C-alpha cells in the first residue's frame, strides 16, 4: 500500500490496489496520479450527484465467492439517469467493475478483444454481435457524460468527457460493454447479477444517503 499526501491540500492519500494509477482526494476533490513512490496533481473533478446509491467506498461483497472491495467510482450521466461504475479490488489482486443503475447490477472485467470491434456508428439496437465466440445482442446505445469520480481508479478521467457506450447481452446473464471513449474501444465482459447475490456489507445507512 502506498501512502502519500495530496499535492493540493496536504490530506492523507492511500493506494490499496496496484491497478490504481489515480485517486481522487476526498478532502479537495482533485485527481492525483501515482508515480512510483510519489504523487502528482492532475486536476479537479466535478462534484458527484446524489443518486441514492446504497454502495460506498469500502463496501465489501462477493462475486461467485470471490471477495471484493469497492475502492473507486466513476459516475456517468445518461439521458435516462445516472450510472455508477464501481472499481472493485478482488482478494487476489484482480481489478473489476460493478455497474449500477436503476436497481440493475452487472459485474464486468476489462477484456482484450480477439479481433477488431465494430464502429459505434455501425451498431443498432437488437443487432447480433459475436464477442470472442459468444453471441450477444446490442441492448442499448447511449452517449454518457462523466460527472466525476472518487477513490482509486486505474485510468484518468475528466468531468464532462463524452463516452459513446454500447451495452450488449446474451439470452442468459452474460453482459458486455463497449466503451468508445478511447481508440481502440475498451471491452468489458461479465454478467448481470441480483443485488442480494453480491452479499454486500458496509452499505450506506439511510441517514447517509
> What is the model's pLDDT at position 168?
98
d(CA 178, CA 110): 10
Note the pTM of the prediction, 2 decimals. Answer: 0.91
Q: If you average pLDDT over residues 161-179, what whole number do you get?
A: 95
**7 contacts 23 by C-beta, under 8 angstroms:** no
Residue ranges of domains in the chain = 2-44
d(CA 20, CA 65): 23
Place of cell 445482442: 137
pLDDT digits (tens, 9 = 90+) for 12-44: 998 988 778 999 999 999 999 998 767 888 888
User: Going by C-beta distance under 8 Å and a sequence separation of 6 or more, which residues neighbour residue 131?
Assistant: 113, 168, 176, 187, 189
**Three cell numbers, residue 62:** 462477493
Strand ranges, E, within the chain? 2-5, 12-15, 22-24, 30-35, 38-44, 60-63, 66-78, 81-90, 95-101, 104-111, 128-131, 134-153, 162-169, 174-179, 186-193
Does the structure show a pLDDT above 80 at 206?
no
CATH architecture of 2-44: Single Sheet (2.20)
Amino acid at each position: 500500500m502506498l501512502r502519500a499526501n495530496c499535492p493540493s491540500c496536504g490530506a492523507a492519500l492511500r493506494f490499496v490496489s496496484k491497478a490504481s494509477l489515480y485517486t481522487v482526494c476526498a478532502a479537495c476533490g482533485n485527481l492525483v496520479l501515482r508515480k512510483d513512490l510519489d504523487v502528482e496533481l492532475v486536476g479537479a473533478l466535478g462534484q458527484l450527484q446524489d443518486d441514492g446509491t446504497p454502495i460506498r467506498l469500502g463496501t465489501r461483497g462477493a462475486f461467485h465467492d470471490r471477495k471484493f472491495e469497492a475502492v473507486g467510482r466513476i459516475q456517468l450521466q445518461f439521458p435516462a439517469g445516472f450510472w455508477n461504475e464501481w472499481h472493485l479490488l478482488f482478494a487476489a489482486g484482480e481489478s473489476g467493475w460493478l455497474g449500477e443503475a436503476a436497481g440493475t447490477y452487472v459485474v464486468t472485467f476489462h477484456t482484450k478483444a480477439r479481433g477488431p470491434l465494430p464502429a459505434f456508428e455501425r451498431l443498432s439496437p437488437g443487432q447480433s454481435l459475436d464477442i470472442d465466440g459468444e453471441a450477444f445482442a446490442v441492448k442499448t446505445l447511449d452517449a454518457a457524460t462523466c460527472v466525476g469520480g472518487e477513490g482509486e481508479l486505474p485510468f484518468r478521467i475528466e468531468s464532462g468527457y463524452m463516452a459513446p457506450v454500447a451495452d450488449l447481452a446474451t439470452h442468459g446473464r452474460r453482459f458486455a460493454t463497449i466503451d468508445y471513449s478511447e481508440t481502440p474501444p475498451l471491452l468489458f465482459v461479465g454478467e448481470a447479477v441480483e443485488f442480494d447475490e453480491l452479499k454486500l456489507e458496509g452499505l450506506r445507512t439511510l441517514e447517509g444517503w
